[in-house]
Amino acid sequence: MFVVQSYSLAVLLTVVTMFCWGSWANARKLAPPSWRFELFYWDYALGVLLSALVFGITLGDTGGVGRGFIADLAQASPSSLAQAAFGGVVFNLANIMLVAAIEIAGMAVAFPVGIGLALVLGVILNYLAAPVGNPALLAAGVLLVTMAIAMDAQAYRRQSRRGVSVSAKGLLLSLASGIFMGVFYRFVAAAMYPHAARPVAGLMGSYAAVFVFASGVFLSTFVWNTVAMRFPVMGKPVPFAHYWRGTLRAHLAGLLGGVIWGCGMSLSIIAANRAGYAISYGLGQGATLIAALWGVFVWKEFRDPARGVSVLLGAMFLCFIAGLGLIVLARST
């Protein structure tokens, strides 16, 4: 299988992950406005699975290092398979909760609470399990990125000109999403052997682990998304029959979103073999910066900015860049 040997290449892959994780939601805008997110999500989950399969049968069977993709899956122990799949189940629940939190409380609450908590918790858990990198630089980088997420949220709040009241349900969903989003990565990492070039019996390499993770995402969608359709946080329940009424454009939009996110996940896990899980996860969660860039420069969400918004956005970008830079340096020192 293809294995990353260079730290520079590992950093590049995590930057691509950041772009993927920060861009997949744009595919939602390609679907018709009437196409509910719950319906979009079925195709999204399938796209995540398909991207993992493509990575497995291509890069997973390239080169003479480690075990091939199919052989890796065949020898994996039940516990390893369960851990990676459970990571997909946990991520899927977190993702659906985050979307629900955004629907109820808006980005101004969901992102700083959900993604901010996930970033801090994820980096800490992955560093404690596999302490790679300078902890002081890593902590400083995470702090700066968390501050940037808070600034981004405050900018959205000022721009929306809404009141300061916060939905208790939205806040609880954001907290729960952040906890689940912060722990899912560790389950996948625990199913993998530590060194890509030295396979361990029963454990999996990057490609097999991500495929099993993606299988967990896809299969758990039949539970989590079915609940979301029957008990939506906003709007009326959505009958599953409506899925078959979708246009080709609507279904392709969901598949594209899933493929984009899934590519980011594969690259993040591939890069983690060289960069370390804490750094790879931390850089990937800089996706909020990319989402903000889309919002500012493409979707013009801050056209005619409210008072102080431009300053907040400028400070946010500076904190993000500085924080991500420290996270990168944490491994090279």
pLDDT tens-digit readout, 305-322: 888 889 998 998 999 899
Q: Which one, of 312, 208, 210, lies nearest residue 264 by Cα?
A: 210
Q: Is the pLDDT confidence value at 163 over 80?
A: no
Rounded Cα–Cα distance for residues 51 and 137 (Å): 33
Rounded Cα–Cα distance for residues 120 and 122 (Å): 6
Eight-state DSSP code of residue 62: S
* Tokens 């390893």, located at residue: 80
Cα angle 247, 253, 256; round to 5 = 140
Q: Is the pLDDT confidence value at 296 over 90?
A: no
* Tokens 């959505």, located at residue: 238
Q: Is 231 helix (H, G, I), strand (E, B) or coil?
A: coil
Higher pLDDT, 6 or 331: 6
pLDDT tens-digit readout, 262-277: 999 999 999 998 999 9
Cα angle 288, 289, 292; round to 5 = 85
Q: Which one, of 277, 102, 270, 271, lies nearest residue 185 by Cα?
A: 277
Eight-state DSSP code of residue 307: T
Q: Give the pLDDT confidence score for residue 165 in this predicted structure.
A: 53
Identify the band that residue 161 occupies on the pLDDT scale cut at 50, 70 and 90. low
* Tokens 């420069």, located at residue: 297
pLDDT tens-digit readout, 76-93: 999 999 999 999 999 999
Rounded Cα–Cα distance for residues 307 and 191 (Å): 49
* Tokens 């960069």, located at residue: 275
pLDDT tens-digit readout, 121-142: 999 999 999 998 999 999 999 9
Q: Are 306 and 161 in contact (CB under 8 A)?
A: yes
pLDDT tens-digit readout, 242-265: 999 999 999 999 999 999 999 999
* Tokens 């993998």, located at residue: 192
Higher pLDDT, 206 or 153: 206
Q: Give the pLDDT confidence score for residue 44 in this predicted structure.
A: 96
Q: Give the pLDDT confidence score for residue 171 in this predicted structure.
A: 82
Q: Return the structure tokens found at 315.
A: 């400070």
